[in-house]
A and B are shown apart, each in its own frame.
Chain A
Amino acid sequence: MFEIASTPLSRRAALAGLFGVSALGLAACAGSNSGGGGNGASATPVSSDDFAKAMDTDTELTFWTWVPDIQKEVDLFQAKYPKVKVKVVNAGQGLDQYTALRTALKAGKGAPDVCQIEYQYISSFLIGKNLLDLSGMNGFGDLESQYPEWVWNQVARDAAVYAVPQDTGPMGMLYRDDLLKAAGVQAPTTWDEFATAAQTYRTASTNSYLTDLPPNQAGQMIGFMWANGAKPFAYDGDKTVTVDLTGTEAKQVVEFWQGLVQKDLVAVDPDFTDQWYQGLSAGTYASWLTAAWGPVFLQGTAKNTSGNWRAAQLPQFTAGGKATGNWGGSTDAVISTTKNPVAAAELARWINVEREPAMKLATEQFLFPPLNSVLQDSSFVGQTPEFYGGQKVNEVFVEASQNVNTDFEWLPFMDTVYSSYTDVMGPAITNRGDMVGALAQWETKIKDFATSQGFTVK
């Protein structure tokens, strides 16, 4: 009697069904952990004969990545190794891709050979022993010396190497030179100066702020903590995690921002929303505390402000200090279920380490390079984009990359850590309330989650 097909009920039911089904996929074969290779520390070195043979055998590799135009680098790889066919798949960005990857790993089929993984998620795939230890592979022996120490620490654990760095996000500051000058403010180099500048700027122009502190951006806040030498997270690679968000360095950062937020000296708008893009274009925020991927991103979103932006180092708690943190960046890792570990490892290494593809990634796709050789290359460092008034912006972030604190670790469940930040810290920031109290709550939430997942919490 009623046509049910287009009722909201059935549409919603269909949606629920979809989620139901995909949730099932997630849980399929729960417990049957099909760790093929595993992260055994006994990575037997591959001899050069075996390597040559493997690269001269007809092989098909699947490569999951969301880097735009990565096909360029893959084509170079295939020109060098014509027998190896690489299928590039965009399985979603960030969490979407990890969900797909976990599903495939649980199902025991459909996982890629090589996969893009952000630094902070590497440890979550070590739990299931899903990443291949690459330390014995061809060309990995002398890799460590080619990266800044902090980058290498992100992908290596003891003697094992679990991924090849592809890009990084050392943090700095982008600011509107014209707006600051108009308000009579100098670009701040310390957080004290930053607070004073925020006050002066707010008085001079009542409808805009020196910067925005997004209530949904745990990555940025954790980056500030990293810059201040905090070490809030640690994971021993087995069953023990450490959570310390209320330690001196982390707390100092949150107290500082709480001071500005409560006095209404910074905006508290969520980032990467239309509102926020318009805010950057319209000068609502006179600076953006961002990472090395920020400059290119900003050129794309605030074209009308070209020529007015400048880059500087992240402000410091100690005058004359230089330390900074990292926010973002990715690696390429080899999934342990691969049938062709040698070829897969070579793909991950070659496109990120060999000079031609690495330069292409840095200068054509604008991924901020982790390799020392590219960081020192004049064709990269010497770029003078019009958008930044001809300033050598890359030079600023190269310097930042040399000053990132070296020993920072992650928890093996960062997605939960991020979402609980938005749930707990978010309202405190938005309501300009008790951020320090929220910080303690956030810590408790993370610890509770870790305990409920069977971890030992220190």
Chain B
Amino acid sequence: MTTSVRTAAAPAGSPAPRRRGASPALRRQHRAAYLLVLPFMVVFTAMLVVPLGYAAYLSLYREQLIGGVSFVGVQNYVDALSDPAFLSGLVRVALFLVVQVPIMLGVALVIALLLDSGVLYAQRFIRLAVFLPYAVPGVVATLMWGYLYGPDFGPFAQMATGLGLPKPPFLSSWMLGSIMNIVTWSFVGYNMIIMFAALRGIPTELYEAARVDGASELRIAWSVKIPAIRSAILLTLIFSVIGSFQLFNEPQLLRTLAPSVIDTAYTPNLYAYNLAFTNQNVNYSAAVAFLLALVIAVLSYVVQLSAQRKERRS
């Protein structure tokens, strides 16, 4: 918050008088503003800044069962960057991002456009039905899908057996695809609602004009609606990038069903968790978590930047 407020009384052109601080009224306003943001700042500092700082501090040390704690500088980071377990997890979530996010956002966008254009019957019902999976907690969703995927007693496997087909290997060679499916199922509705809300906010004059010019519905969707909700799409994209890299719940829960498919380093987040809680290697875990955060920050920034470039070009 800046306090160097130019006093409005100074006539333009004349050299500004020496400031003796803001007027009493302004000072009161500032004080009120500080007071109002204080609760947030306190919680923010205590719950986010301090733990982050502490984790950063931890990541510079090494604690051994024998020999105790020693300062190692960036050694943990150097180790992590050449750690195949960490890197293969990163590659896996990157693949997840490249495949799953476009599918999820594409489906969400199509449904949002269909709902917006009013060509569907039972609009409200469809909107709710698509959104409903998001209301199911991720843990419950994963347990449910885990049962559906089951190789002996899952309905898909039973159907396949009934038809004389081989059982689909949902929990072995298709594992990553199975997780993508769970996440897509859970979050299509959520992303759809964001896009749909943005579509509702477009001034109707825009399409009226397009219609008068004889544009088809598809053309309107492509040339008017999608550009108009670009910022909402960008938002969902950034959330999805972050979500993909932080993948944790689904693999953690499916591990019990397929422990030899999902290892302790299946995703970087799972790796950080297992390093801290199984190997009691908190320092290295903190370094891995920080590197992951760095990757996410860089990627989110790249996504945003490229979107802004496009905007300037168009």
Contacts and interface: CB of A to CB of B under 8 A. Distances in A.
A156 B32 CA distance: 66
B178 interface: no
Interface residues on B, range: 35 or more
A422 B263 contact: yes
A139 interface: no
Interface stretch (A68-76, A316-324, A329-337, A449-457): A449-457
B269 to A, nearest CB: 8
A272 B190 CA distance: 34
Nearest to A96: B277
B243 A8 contact: yes
Interface in B246-279: 246, 248-249, 256-261, 263-265, 269, 272-274, 276-279
A206 interface: no
A270 B257 contact: yes
Contact of B63 (A24, A31, A95, A419): A31
B279 A21 contact: no
A345 B52 CA distance: 41
B69 interface: yes
Contact of A422 (B260, B269, B272): B260
Contacts of B101: none
Nearest to B54: A24
Nearest to B247: A12
B259 A26 contact: no
A454 B66 contact: yes
A413 B66 CA distance: 12
A319 B241 CA distance: 61
A452 B70 CA distance: 13
A455 B66 contact: yes
A27 B187 contact: no
B272 to A, nearest CB: 8
Interface in A260-312: 270, 272-275, 278-279, 284
A117 to B, nearest CB: 16
Contacts of B152: 275, 278-279, 284
Contacts of B172: 430
Contact of A274 (B150, B264, B277): B150
B58 to A, nearest CB: 6
Contact of A17 (B48, B54, B264): B48
Q: Most chain-B CB neighbours within 10 Å: which of A2, A23, A239?
A: A23
Contact of A30 (B51, B63, B277): B63
A189 interface: no
A21 B46 CA distance: 11
B125 to A, nearest CB: 22
Interface residues of A, number: 52
A215 interface: yes
Contacts of B209: none
Contacts of B249: 15
A9 B269 CA distance: 14
B301 to A, nearest CB: 15
B238 to A, nearest CB: 9
A33 B257 CA distance: 39
B51 A216 contact: no
Nearest to A25: B282
A273 B261 CA distance: 15
Q: Most chain-A CB neighbours within 10 Å: which of B58, B150, B259?
A: B259
B279 A449 contact: yes
Contact of B243 (A2, A12, A275): A12
A273 B256 contact: yes
A274 B257 CA distance: 8
B173 to A, nearest CB: 10
Interface in A410-436: 412-413, 415-416, 419-420, 422-423, 426-427, 429-431
Contacts of B278: 95, 415-416, 419
A24 B68 contact: no
Contacts of B280: 26, 102, 413, 415
B118 interface: no
A10 to B, nearest CB: 10
A143 interface: no
Interface of A: 2, 7-9, 11-12, 15-17, 19-21, 23-24, 26-27, 30-31, 33, 95, 99, 102, 127, 215-216, 239, 270, 272-275, 278-279, 284, 412-413, 415-416, 419-420, 422-423, 426-427, 429-431, 449, 452-455
Interface of B: 47-48, 51-52, 54-55, 58, 61, 63-69, 138, 147, 150-153, 172, 187, 190, 194, 235, 239, 242-243, 246, 248-249, 256-261, 263-265, 269, 272-274, 276-280, 282-283, 285-286, 289
10 contacts: A12-B242, A12-B246, A21-B51, A26-B276, A31-B68, A275-B150, A413-B279, A413-B280, A419-B278, A419-B279
Given A30-B282, A416-B279, 17 more contacts: A7-B239, A8-B243, A12-B248, A15-B248, A16-B246, A16-B269, A16-B289, A20-B289, A23-B282, A24-B51, A26-B280, A95-B278, A215-B260, A273-B257, A279-B152, A415-B278, A415-B280
